Amino acid sequence: MMKRYKACFSCGGNRHRDSKKEKKRINIKENLTGAEKLSLEDLLEEELENPMVQLRYTYALDVIRAKLRLIHADLTAQSRRPVIRNLSSRIKTAESIGRKLVKKQHEISFETAVATLNDIAGIRVVCYFCDDIYQVAAAIREQSDLRVIKEKDYVKRPKKSGYQSVHLIVGVPVTYRDRTQEIRVEVQIRSFAMDYWAEMDTQMCYKKNTAQILHVERETKNYSDLIAEVDNKMLELRRRIEGG
Ligand code: 0O2
């Protein structure tokens, strides 16, 4: 399940401390506990960890996961080979949300996170071949109970880093009693080879220091090109085999 962090964000929250809304929220907290002022990071973590919030995001992830299992079964039956290799999901930690809000120069608050971030809930779909990505994306678009809000194709146009994946931001209706809320889930769809690169890239980021950064980034970008070449060759081979 989700890892719990004590949030520690780079801006320290000082830039945001003056907002009227924030003062009000801190006062409310003081009245309730009499404890010392909570930082913006702690407030964000506390609101994110509210069971009703967590359960809404978990519900949305469960819906998408169930849908992807159906899509996998359908596409596997059609093509007579497995299409999706694995699925993984997570709810973003308060620490990671805080970092992203700072990066986007947004106020650190739960409301801003919910309003501006598309990936508080995320699911990763790893397919065997690069053409499977588009089959899965098309099948998601066809689902009448889901709304595709935004799409980014980093396979056709890889990121400067070399990162490749298709991202769909999908709206999932979550109804509790008489209230329906649309929860956004980021679905990252990539091939097995693209996933290998992304995982290794994440690992390298932890290792690199400022002096190494340019060199490491150049090298990982080159490996992304190499891996894409192998990915395409595997696809060509599969098509030759299928063609008899
Ligand atoms: P984490 O830990 O994976 O959650 P948007 O707000 O929708 O317009 P966003 O989310 O700001 O767009 O950016 P983007 O590039 O569409 O998607 C960001 C996510 O893609 C990242 O999430 C990563 O999961 C993945 N990603 C993007 N670029 C790279 C890269 O160069 N290397 C690797 N390994 N992954 C990448 P987070 O929030 O950064 O992290």
Whole-number Å distance, alpha carbon 40 to ligand 1 midpoint, is: 23
Q: What does the pLDDT read at residue 38?
A: 60
Which parts of the chain sit beneath pLDDT 50? 1-37
Please tell me the predicted confidence (pLDDT) of residue 212.
81
Neighbours of 68 (CB within 10 A): 20
Taking the CA of residue 100 as reference, the ligand 1 atom at the shortest distance is 38
Show the tokens assigned to 22.
């924030």
Query: What is the model's pTM?
Result: 0.85
* Residue list, ligand 1 pocket, CB within 6 Å: 92, 96, 100, 118-119, 152, 159, 161, 163, 167, 198, 201-202
* CA 195, chain centre distance (Å): 13
Closest residue by Cα to atom 21, ligand 1, is 119
Instruction: Locate the ligand 1 atom nearest the alpha carbon of residue 152 and give its number.
Output: 16
Q: Classify burial at 236, counting beta carbons within 10 Å of its beta carbon; exposed 0-12, middle 13-18, buried 19 or more.
A: exposed
122 three-state secondary structure:
strand
H or E element at residue 215 = helix 213-242
Ligand 1 centroid distance, CA of 212 (Å): 22
Test site for ligand 1: of 163, 190, 200, 223, most ligand atoms within 8 A of the Cβ:
163
Q: What is the pLDDT of residue 215?
A: 86
Q: How high is the pLDDT of residue 210? A: 74
**Distance linking the first and last C-alpha atoms of the chain:** 45
Rounded to the nearest angstrom, the distance between the alpha carbon of 31 and the centre of ligand 1 is 38
What per-residue confidence (pLDDT) applies to 216? 87
Can you tell me which residue has the tokens 């973003």? Answer: 92
Of 189, 235, 201, 25, residue with least CA distance to 109: 25
Query: Looking at residue 27, what is its pLDDT?
Result: 40
**177 Rama sector, left if φ>0, alpha if ψ -120 to 50, beta otherwise:** left
